[in-house]
Chain A
Amino acid sequence: MASIDIQSIRKSFGTFPVLHGVDLTIRDGEFIVLVGPSGCGKSTLLRMIAGLEGVTSGDIRIDGKRVNDLAPKDRDIAMVFQSYALYPHMSVADNMSYSLRLRRTAKEKIASAVGNAASKLGLDPLLERRPRALSGGQRQRVAMGRAIVRQPKAFLFDEPLSNLDARLREQMRAEIKKLHADLRATSIYVTHDQIEAMTLADRIVAMHAGVVQQVGTPLDLYDRPANLFVAGFIGSPGMNFFEGLYVVSGEKAELRLANGTVLPVGKRAGIESGSVATLGIRPEHVTLNDQGALEADVDLIEPTGFGIIMHVTLHDGPLKIFTLDRSMLNPGPKVRVDLPLERLHLFGSDGNRVD
């Protein structure tokens, strides 16, 4: 177990830069999730921490020790791969004990370590099988078991649940969380799935185009997204955005859209009157109300069972609403909505949040 310190890490493949100076401090025992769309550099960052990719510039420290030039095996980390990367010609027990055997650990120690890990993950009856005789979920468990037998300083997970079906993914997600609560090992988890990020993380690192967009607890990112990218990426269905001019008149402030609509927004300190701004509101925060201030045309109703996603048009612009009110399955052609002031997010012309 250890802290991991990443200082202005850069990475280029040839002349093509993929990471533009990442700084991140991971505390001992913390569960960090790197999240972002494909190609944002999150996997590259993880592989650099593992030592599978070279560092173009910057420093990586594990437990205070600079590891830039150490081989993967000398960093004392364990990694779970998306493909599991199990050794196909070895039994489950041999897969799990491989790293210990390479380190010439005593036989009894190996047996007890493998036994412990296997019972934690429910692998006891499978120890003599080969990976090809296992289901996807079982292989996933073996990959986890291989990581935990060694008691490394840190666990690295590279999209470990992507190859599982939805039900199994949910189940393994809970198991990973339980395992982390049990072992309290420093973990870095890469995913593009925001549900995994929200449910597992102590802190989320949202990345886009090789740049860290925001670091914070899951609720931080949900409640106070730092910029338009995080606002749009976290949350499902995604946030609604309206672009317009931010105008202050007396104690009130409003956003004037291109089509002439005026939306009242709270007065903010970080932005000047007359500048371009983007307003954001999550679909679940839009309220439906017979006396609502705004009228919208209903385009489409998507029932999800749990709730209803309504696609409506508000003054020529699309708006999504999420509601638990089942009467909205047959809403009629028009509805009236409110955009509550305290739920509005405002972003300046540079895309950053203003309060």
Chain B
Amino acid sequence: MTIAAHPHAAKPLRKRIADASEPYLYSAPALILIITVMLVPLVLGISYAFRDIQLLNPFSGGFIGLDHFRTLSEDQAFFRALRNTLWWTGASVFLQFFFGLILALLLDKPFAGRGLAQALVFLPWAVPSFLAGLNWAWLFNPVIGPLPHWMYALGIMDAPNNILSDPHLAMWGPIVANVWWGIPFFAITLLAALQAIPRDLYEAASIDGAGPVQRFLSITLPFLAPTIAITILLRTVWISNFADLIVVMTNGGPADRTQIVASYIFTQAFKRLDFGYASAIALVLLVLLLAYSMLIVVLRQTLLNKG
């Protein structure tokens, strides 16, 4: 009877250890993989931010505490890059979303050749960003591209100049390229969300007396809201990290007017070869984006709970 009342006492120690570690052993392969592939580089990168690491200086590598961040707080180029990032990300995301939504709404209506149109719309997504950047750089180049001449003919510009070399307009070059390249992402995801809206809701609303605008506001928009929130979150993070087009088209110039934080990090790390400072900037960007993501996730959760 005593044995039956205390079954655990009867188990040998090795068996108890095996039982206790069982769940950890099952999850170990996945955990080890995640730690080696994600956490180790992350921690290493963060540690660089507090060390003096310059590839060309063999005596560098020592721990310097918050020195990089002190330099960073007085680095005017960094603050300009931060402002440029806001502009670049805001304009790109807004225009991509705006045109993507219009495209999705158009593709949601049946018309002859819709299948072909859908396939064509998604084509820019398949173009490598490097190629897209080169193409647009050429399009803006008055020697070989038609765009400056068209804009001149339309009276938008005083002379057929390259906007990529104009400090006040240069940022619009990569933004236009980015919008062209990123519209399909919004079009695809919003179209999928649109097609999930039950059609009889629109019919009920039209019988209830809603016109096209009211139907859009009271049915389409509430149904799309969670998708809009999550896609804008994703795109904002991607685009603010996305330096390819800028590096290819303007390389941050003229006079740092198109330098965003991501391209500034790239310049610091791979041109100046100052990995320590680059890591410090990257860490600041990481913190900013994390804060932003948390904000959007909370927003989306409240939207979903309400809906």
A-side residues, CB < 8 A to B, are 50-52, 71-73, 77-79, 81, 83, 85, 87-90, 98-99, 102-103, 146
B304 to chain A, nearest CB (A): 11
Chain A residues whose C-beta falls within 8 Å of the C-beta of B222 in the assembled complex: 89
Q: In the complex, A50→B203 CA distance in Å?
A: 10
Q: Are B206 and A98 in contact, CB atoms less than 8 angstroms apart? A: no
Closest to A82 in B: B200
Contacts of A87 in B (CB 8 A): 201, 204-205, 218-219
Interface residues of B in 13-37 (CB under 8 A from A): none
Whether B218 contacts A73 by the Cβ 8 Å rule is no
Kindly provide the distance from the CB of B216 to the nearest chain A CB, expressed in whole angstroms. Answer: 13
- Give chain A nearest CB distance to B118 CB in angstroms: 22
Q: Assess whether A85 is in contact with B206, with CB atoms less than 8 Å apart.
A: no
Alpha-carbon separation in the docked complex, A56 to B183 (Å): 39
Which residue of B201, B209, B210, B306 contacts A85 across the interface (Cβ within 8 Å)? B201
Q: How far is the CA of A99 from the CA of B215 in the complex (A)?
A: 12
Q: When chains A and B are docked, how far (Å) is the Cα of A85 from the Cα of B209?
A: 15
Residue of B nearest to A90 (CB): B218
CB of B307 within 8 Å of the partner chain: yes
Pair B207/A79 contact, Cβ less than 8 Å: yes
Nearest residue (CB) in A for B219 is: A87
Residues in A with CB closer than 8 Å to B198 are 83, 85
Q: Is the CB of A88 within 8 A of B307?
A: yes
**For the complex, what is the distance from the CA of A102 to the CA of B206, rounded to whole Å?**
11
Whether A85 pairs with B218 at a CB distance below 8 angstroms is no
Q: Do residues B210 and A73 form an inter-chain contact, with CB atoms below 8 A?
A: yes
The answer for the CA separation of A116 and B222 in the assembled complex, in Å, is 28
Q: Does B301 contact A (CB under 8 A)?
A: no
A-B contact pairs, 16 of them (CB 8 A): A51-B206, A51-B207, A52-B203, A72-B203, A72-B207, A73-B206, A73-B208, A73-B210, A81-B203, A85-B198, A85-B200, A87-B219, A90-B218, A98-B210, A99-B208, A99-B209
Q: For window 181-239 of chain B, which residues contact chain A by CB distance below 8 Å? A: 198, 200-201, 203-211, 214, 218-219, 222-223
Q: How far is the CB of B306 from chain A (nearest CB, A)?
A: 8
A73 touching B207 by the CB < 8 A rule?
A: yes
Q: Let me know if A85 and B214 touch, CB within 8 A.
A: no
Q: With the chains together, A87 CA to B307 CA distance in Å?
A: 10
A85 to B204, CA, bound (A): 6
Q: Which one, A73, A77, A83, A88, contacts B200 given CB within 8 A?
A: A83
Q: Are A77 and B210 in contact (CB under 8 A)?
A: no
Closest 4 CB pairs of A and B: A99-B208, A85-B204, A73-B209, A85-B200
| Contact count band on B | 10 to 19
Q: How far is the CB of B297 from chain A (nearest CB, A)?
A: 20
Q: Which residue of A lies closest to B210 (CB)?
A: A102
For residue B172, give the distance in angstroms from its CB to the closest CB of chain A. Answer: 38
CB of A81 within 8 A of CB of B307, answer no
A79 contact set on B, CB distance < 8 A: 203-204, 207
List residues of chain B with CB within 8 A of the CB of A77: 207
CB neighbours of B306 from chain A (8 A): 89
Q: Please report the C-alpha to C-alpha distance between residue A311 and residue B200 in the assembled complex, in whole angstroms.
A: 44
| B207 pairs with A78, CB closer than 8 A | yes
Q: A77-B207, A79-B207 are in contact. Are A89 and B200 (CB under 8 A)?
A: no
Give every chain B residue within 8 A of A102 (Cβ-Cβ). Answer: 208-210, 214
On chain B, the residues within 8 Å of A103 by CB distance are 209
Query: Residue A52 contacts which of B206, B208, B223 (CB distance < 8 angstroms)?
Result: B206
CB distance from B220 to the nearest CB of A (A): 11
Bound Cα distance A2, B222 (Å):
36
Q: Which residue of B lies closest to A99 (CB)?
A: B208
Q: Is the CB of A98 within 8 A of B200?
A: no
User: Which residues of B lie under 8 Å from residue A50 when comparing CB positions?
Assistant: 203, 207
Q: What's the minimum C-beta distance from B229 to chain A, rounded to whole angstroms? A: 14
A155 CB to nearest B CB, Å: 11
Chain A residues positioned under 8 Å from B211 (CB to CB):
73
What CA separation (Å) do A99 and B205 show in the bound complex? 8
**Chain B residue nearest to A77 in the complex (CB):** B207
Alpha-carbon distance between A52 and B211 when the two chains are bound, in angstroms: 14
Complex Cα distance A78/B204, Å? 9
Q: How far is the CA of A253 from the CA of B209 in the complex (A)?
A: 61
Residue of B nearest to A130 (CB): B307
Q: Which residues of A contact B206 (CB under 8 A)?
A: 51-52, 71-73
Closest residue of chain B to A88 (Cβ to Cβ) is B307
A103 to B208 Cα, complex, angstroms: 9
Can you name 5 extra interface pairs (CB under 8 A) apart from A52-B207, A87-B205?
A: A51-B206, A79-B207, A85-B203, A99-B209, A146-B204
Task: Provide the residues of chain B in CB contact with A52, threshold 8 Å.
Answer: 203, 206-207
